[in-house]
Structure 1
Amino acid sequence: MWSVLAQAQREQHLRAEAQRRAAAAAQRENERAQREAQRAAARGEREALKAYQQGRESDAARRSAELDARVAELRGVLAAGLAGPGFSPAAGGRPVVPPFDPGPLGVPVPMPDQGWYLVPPPVGPQAYHPGARRQWEEQSAQARAAFERDWQAAWAAEQQRQHRLADYRAQYEAWAAERHRLLAGQAAQAGRLAARLRAGEAAAVAEYFEAVVDWREDWPDGFPADGETSWDASARRLVVRWELPPYEVVPPVGRYRYVRSEDREDEVARPVGQRRELYREVLAQCALRVLAEVFRADADGLLASVGLNGVLVATDPATGREGERCLLAVEVGREVFAGLALDRVAPLDCLVDALGGRIAARPDRGGTVAEVPASAPPPPAPPAPPAPVADGEGPDLFEMDPLEFEELIAELFRRRGLRTRTTARSGDEGVDVLAEDPDPITGGKIVIQAKRYRKTVPPSAVRDLESTMRRQGANRGILVTTAGFGPGSRKHAEGQPLTLVDGPMLLALLREQGLPGRLGPAPAPVPAPAVPAQRSASAVPAGPAVELTPGQNLLLPGEEVRVRFRSGGAEADLTLLLLDADGRVRHDGDFVFYHQPTAEDGAVALRPDDRSATVRTGRLPDAVRRVAISVNLDADGDGTCADLVDPAVELACGGGRWVFRPPADPAVSAMLVAEVYRHPADGWKLRAVGQGWSDGLAGLARDHGVDVA
């Protein structure tokens, strides 16, 4: 019995050991499977990362290839035009209606294959493991559900594609029918146009060639491809105004690069110089292509020459208004153009060197060139020499009618070789005179503003002119005034294509061209006063005023000195200071100015309204050793002595008359022009000075002891 029990225990132990070994083996197999799964997952992650990075690199390469293709398309604008068909008036010049192309809608939606969703069953010991079996069944059920879901989605997408394809085909057929109708009408119109051409009708020529320049539809994206024509029958000359593409058609990005270490895509910028030159090459190709289209369509030899103005229509960022800039201009005869091998030329060299055209050096920076005129200008008559005009002759420019003043300015620049015209009184957008310099190298469009000012022109007027110049597409601006310009205006104009013409320069230009004009009333001679009884009239001869130079002095022949200051341009006042032996005022009462016009009971009297004064030396106390006479500009402005037009200080005493002309110093806004001083031996004398202060009347007064706090 005990042996039977022992045998049963051994068998039970063996069964338990076998189960333990089987469980251990199963555990080891599970662990091995897990490790294999982890290794497979790691391999999958690495492969997925590698595939992801390769995909990003491929995407960057694809986008770079698209940029290269765009550049190649831009470089081939001329070649594409030469390879295409020419304009045919019989067919209306239009291409045939293209056949129906469904594009992506013509590709059926792929239906899912059930084999893609099969889950492989467990094998080996896993096949007998309940957990593994259960997991496989769950995954299989999920896969079947995914297949059914994807199949339903694909079927719905295919139904939608078929409906969209049917709608697209119906739209195409309607469009094609309308297109055929339009082409038939254009063909009929072209036939009538050809008949008018054969009859020599001038309007038909312009209409025909406008159709020629507009008919091609194979320009690259972003090209307006729109033109206008004008026809000069007497000269057999056609001028085309062609809208050019903007600078943005040239990609600013040179290539794309994927950086693996940072998982990002970088844009490598195209060099600015390279982009600008490519843009200029594109513009030159546009010009040559349009010229080629025009001459190719002229089968009857109507044209002797063709001019082309390439303009850019763009918004001025400063004003927000749309305007035109002429970026290139060229005019060429039939024989010259026929001698070109356009399929082998370098477009820029051909346009500039072979055809003598003009193209803006920096079209991306607002550069412009002079346009080809719409009609051939008549040969200029030899200019008659301008008649001499004496100083002070002609009308007062300050009082001239505004329109007459603008006409005078237009005539001035017309005589200087520009083609000018005045603008309408309303809606001129800040332009008084439009001018064009016909010089093929330095010429171009010019806007001119004419301002009849008595005070200094503010800097805002210069800024307005700059904005107007950009808005009008001009390459130069001229601001003409009867007054002057302050330092702020001149500083703003530095380095800009702006010319400031102040009053003195305007008078000089008018006299140079034989045109009359003056600033202010005609100067009247200062009447010679009666000679005081105690002085001899023969001491100072009567006659015209004697010009004084800075530092020059003379003995006064009388006790009453009359002073008058006259000038045009900027506003300026006359002031006087009574000074002691130290060159300083004794008190504030010695400062004679607008609000305090007299001192020492009328010994010094100022008349501010006509900027004149009287100094009676015999009534001055002994403590007053000098009377300083100064001129100062408006303290609220930024004018300087350079803004004064024909300034002069006229002095008279006894039988003598003198005039001192202050220097036009742009750094000075107050100037001590003259002084009446007491000489120990000779008595009262007059001296011309010309000393200036950059800080104006405040500096002059402060240096002579006046409290300006």
Structure 2
Amino acid sequence: MSRRSNGLIGIWAEAQRQQQRQREAAHRERTQAQREQERQQRAYERETARLDREQRAAYRQRREAEAMRRTEELEGRVAELTGLLVAGCAEPAFTAAALRRPEEVEPFQPGHLAHPVAMPDPGQYRFARQQFERDWQAAQAAEAQRQQQLAAYRQQYDQWAAGQLAETRRYNAGVAEMTEALRGRDPDAVVDYFSAALYASSAWPQEFPHQISAAYDPGARQLVLTSELPGYGIVPEAKAVRYMPTADQDKETARPAAQRRAVYRDVLAQCVLLTVRELFAADEFGALESVSLNAFVDDHDPATGRRAQIVLATVSVARGVFEGLHLEQVSAVDCLVDGLGGQLSARPDQLAAVRPGRMPDEVGRGVVSHGGGDDPDLYEMDPIEFEGLVAQLFRARGMQAVMTTRSNDGGVDVEALDPDPISGGRIIVQVKRYRKTVPPTAVRDLYGTVQGAGANKGVLVTTSGFGPGSYTFANGKPLTLVSGEELVGLLGRHGLRGRLGGGPAAAAARPAAAPAEQAAGDHNVLGMAWSGRVALDVCALVCEGTRVLSDDHFVFYNNPATPDGSVRAVPPSAGDKAALRVTFDALPAASDRLVLVAAIDPAVNPDADLSEFTDARIRLSDASGSELGQLEVSDGRPGETALVLGSFRRRANGDWDFVLGGQGYRGGLSDLVQDFGIEVA
């Protein structure tokens, strides 16, 4: 007989089964959660890897595109050099008519003074008679004043126009006299005319030299001249550029030496043929029966080590022979050597000279030279002559210019009048024949003179250069600073002569690129201040163009200084919120700009933007703390969290000039620096 259970065992067993099912369900949930987490991790890793591949691919594409662009530039440069003669033959010939100036002046443009003042309409004053009379009288007075100003302005314009027309007619009369002298084969007129023809030509690349000496033999009707050739460096040393992804750097493929030499010889031959072509083409008066040309480079003679004119090509050719050539179809080297019997250096890259032909000083008449070492040395020029040369430059630019009297010039060396009725006016010119950098005090003095004289503009011309303090002070003011290198370029473009020393000794004596105002401590301090309570990181990037030299040349909170210490974050002075110390003359030679940026500090203001970044300025000080000037920068904009404040850019003469920025970024500092080539992890 079996015994029935009292039910406790069943209850206990059921509870055990429930617990087992719960444990199994929990285990399944943990397993599923773990599998889901592993799946998400794998998906994240795949997405990260994909993005990384895309970023690497995009970066590689950018670098390969940049290498291709540089290669195309090299190929284009060589194509320009090898096509010099063909392009030059397509240019129109120079004529005496090109020397004449049109006998016309800018028409009278009174601007707003041409429009009469509108009289009030009585119909609009139906119940306001007294108001109408007051407005009528005011309009009548304004109209009378307009007519008075218009008459004065017209009188001023008529005086200027008459002077301008008289000057043009005097100049054209001189051109007519030279033309008559050309017909009579006057040697001086012949040399001046054909020198002008060569200088006015647009067939030559801008960087080609323009040094010419010439004399004319009227009996033989022969122009004998020497003309400077470009140096071997005109032909690119590299043939192509290829990006090497394994090393993450560009690799230049060198142009074979034989190919580079062949291109250079071809360029020299083209220069000789093109020079002769332009001379014969410009001869509308039958002055030239033949041309004797010696073409040289101005370099160090390998035999003596001294600077010399080394003749690399020479030719003497009659007009009839030359006019029988089809220059667009010839091989320049074969044409010069075989066709015309000229000489061309076999190894011009090694400055292997050829025997020169007839030289200008053998003609027996005065030799006229233009450009190069024969130009007067501006450093050694008499101060009065130097001021006269600057005045002559302004007159060559179409202005009226006079030198002031020495006894009471009030800090004014030259006064010029720009006749342009819109942008012209009275110009105060100061001339500084310095060897050292012009201090900012001279620029401040000029500004005071301009204001005191009521002039429209001030120009400071020097044989040296200017520092950042000078350009900072001149920023936004009616001031123009002309350095020595810029002055020489302006003189050359307007047919005037001048050079800054000559040879290595003079080059060593030229003012250094480092501003004299940095001598005390040899650095400047850039203090940054702004309105608003927003916290910002002020950073700097040392760049070549738009690319930072390296990550180490990005100065920010995690990298307070560049490797050479030329840029360093320093504690700000009173009134500033951030500061950088910059030694401009110690910046790497490869750099040409120092970019200043500001970005929201995410640790302090994680949700802020640059809408509160207003009334900002950069205060430039010298090493002693003396303020040299202030630079205004753009305000921030809503939604943006990083901003390019501006950049100091190295000029051709080694000075640094400030250029205002303003480009904003919504992605903060990381978004900004990527535009300058910094990889952000």
TM-score (norm 1): 0.37
Question: Which structure has the larger Rg?
Answer: 1
Q: TM-score, normalised by structure 2?
A: 0.39
